[in-house]
Amino acid sequence: MLELDAEALYVELQHGVRSLLAEGTRPDAALVGIWSGGAWLAERLQRDLALAGTHGVISSTLHRDDFNARGLVTQDGKGTDPTQLPFAIDGRHIVLVDDVLHTGRTIRAVVNELFDFGRPASVTLAVLVDRGGRELPIAAAFAAAKLALPAGQRLRLARADDSRFSFAVTGNV
Amino acid sequence: MLELDAEALYVELQHGVRSLLAEGTRPDAALVGIWSGGAWLAERLQRDLALAGTHGVISSTLHRDDFNARGLVTQDGKGTDPTQLPFAIDGRHIVLVDDVLHTGRTIRAVVNELFDFGRPASVTLAVLVDRGGRELPIAAAFAAAKLALPAGQRLRLARADDSRFSFAVTGNV
């Protein structure tokens, strides 16, 4: 049985993101969370790191490489796109936040979505968990934990009513 | 003065690419070199590793994020696209080869170009030199050398008439 303390990993992520934001003096760096787990993380990081402004939210829906097979299916089942970027992307240093890094296909999709809004100065990735299994040449600058999971298992962040994080593991080996 | 022995690094790259091709039994893996330095490397790797078939060549021209500013300017100045993929990309394990990994913007462009031809099972990146300075969450699975260069300097592979490789460093600190 896998035991991952999402709250403890969140504290690590907070330190990691603080360092990334401080690198090379990036006063204009902005957090963008990947829908849905990464968006929860970005929301809390924005508050806990006392960052000015609002975090962004981005979805991979429109650029997924299985878009033809899936069509416009979103988390809420209503076909709406949760992307919300309340600031200019052009020339901006973006710190992308996600719960789990796996194949890298979501990150490719999300970076392409970002570029639809402008040409960022840089995009850096920070995640709670890097579970390996990469299928694209994608890497996180910071991962609070690295572990290996069987390909058939799914790991995703859950958020309780009191805003506390936990991990849900589903699927068979 | 920077001394980089491109021929010695090529031998390292050859070992690295051989390992990547052997990973997880990928009999159908294909080499694709990024125009122009990576294409020279892929051509020679294809021969030295005695791989069946022909290597692919891909260019970042059509997907570059500064396409609007640059337009269709290619190496030969003739506005032609050197991309040549003489095999199906769909479901294929692709090993991308390049001479120098820097910001990652070329890799993003080239991966998008690959996806225009199909949905590869995986894309893995191998390079002669990782010079740091990443602006996107891109990483190589293998780099024969890692070094830091001033942002203003340009490092690129050159190929002599006898096919031997060397590095050319241009630009000021």
User: B interface toward A at CB cutoff 8 Å?
Assistant: 65-66, 96, 107-108, 111-112, 115, 119, 121-125, 134-141
Most A CBs within 10 Å, among B94, B138, B142, to test the A interface:
B138
ipTM: 0.91
Supply the pTM of this predicted model.
0.91
List the single residue in A134, A137, A138 with the smallest CB-CB distance to B96. Answer: A137
Q: HEC string of B25-91?
A: CCCCCEEEEECCHHHHHHHHHHHHCCCCCCCEEECCHHHCCCHHHHCCCCCCCCCCCCCECCCCCCC
Q: Which residues pair with B110 in a beta bridge?
A: none
CA distance B56 to B37: 13
Whether B124 and A137 lie within 8 Å, measured CB to CB: yes
Summarised one tens digit per residue, pLDDT across range A81-131 is 799 999 999 999 999 999 999 999 999 999 999 999 999 999 999 999 999
Summarised one tens digit per residue, pLDDT across range B115-126 is 999 999 999 999
Asked if A56 and A24 count as a contact pair (C-beta separation under 8 A), the reply is no
Long-range contacts of B61-67 (CB under 8 A, 24+ apart): B61/B109, B62/B109, B62/B113, B63/B108, B63/B109, B63/B110, B63/B112, B63/B113, B64/B105, B64/B106, B64/B109, B65/A115, B65/A119, B65/B105, B65/B108, B65/B109, B66/A119
User: A interface toward B at CB cutoff 8 Å?
Assistant: 65-66, 96, 107-108, 111-112, 115, 119, 121-125, 134-141
Q: Which amino acid is at A22?
A: A
Chain A residues near residue B122 by CB distance under 8 angstroms: 134-136
Summarised one tens digit per residue, pLDDT across range B65-89 is 766 565 555 444 555 679 999 999 9
**For residue A44, what is the DSSP state?**
H
Whether A140 and B137 lie within 8 Å, measured CB to CB: yes
Chain B: closest CA distance from residue A161 (Å):
32
Chain B: closest CA distance from residue A25 (Å):
15
List the single residue in A66, A121, A139 with the smallest CB-CB distance to B137. Answer: A139
Whether A137 and B136 lie within 8 Å, measured CB to CB: no
Chain A residues near residue B123 by CB distance under 8 angstroms: 135-137
Residue B84: Cβ-neighbour burial (10 angstroms; 0-12, 13-18, 19+): middle
Consecutive H or E run containing B109: helix B105-117
Ranges of residues in chain A whose predicted pLDDT is under 70: 1-2, 24-27, 66-80, 172-173
